[in-house]
A = this chain, B = another copy of it.
């Protein structure tokens, strides 16, 4: 089982689903960065406790207020984390790509979830129950260090994201976001990981302002919009608008 970095080069959903069902949990774990340093015995113990969840786009992993009693790792697909926006709508708080984990803070702090976690695409998610994770930390300092490193990168990413969002006006924020989502390849469409209003809130824009900026970029033939599907036509010219 490979772990695709995005959802563009992945095999079609039905194929992935049956492949994922066939692969033993130990092999899935082994392919993920968090578990790479583990020996066979540790992998075996964790695999035995792992639950796999094959999710269709839009399906919930947990909801705000739940106590999820474990942590999660994305094998393929993307999971979006949705908080509350101004006025009560949804706000994209983060996107978890294949190979990455989520839910550790809730598990460690024993507090209810602050966000809804739901599949942004068809996805395979592994759930590792709290007891198994805690037992493995006791046994295996390497696993503890991987967890610490994972949380550290998320903290850094959040700080960097805040800084990026402070800089530049609305257009720069939209362009920066689209380039990070869609990469710099012209003509390859990608899907926004959440509803436009939620992405707008993430970018600290009103839905109307976000929509207007997107349509201005489309009018200049820098990109094409088809609902939540976006195709960057001239990524280099877009990149020049970031500053």
Contact = CB atoms under 8 A, between A and B. Distances in A.
A104 B153 CA distance: 10
A114 B160 contact: yes
Given A86-B167, A163-B93, A204-B204, A145 B155 contact: no
B105 A152 contact: yes
Nearest to A109: B152
Given A137-B141, A148-B147, A151-B148, A159 B115 contact: yes
Given A114-B156, A155-B155, A204-B204, A84 B163 contact: yes
Contacts of A115: 159
A158 interface: yes
Nearest to A115: B159
Can you tell how many copies of this chain the complex includes? Answer: 2
Contacts of A151: 148, 151-152, 155
A144 B155 CA distance: 17
A100 interface: no
A225 interface: no
The secondary structure that dominates the A interface is helix
Contacts of A158: 155, 158-159, 162
Contact of A144 (B83, B94, B111, B148): B148
Nearest to A167: B86
A143 to B, nearest CB: 9
Interface in A116-159: 134, 137-139, 141, 144-145, 147-149, 151-156, 158-159
Interface in A195-225: 201, 204
A168 interface: yes
A115 B91 CA distance: 27
A28 interface: no
Given A93-B163, A159-B158, A145 B134 contact: yes
Contacts of A84: 163, 167
A166 interface: yes
A79 to B, nearest CB: 15
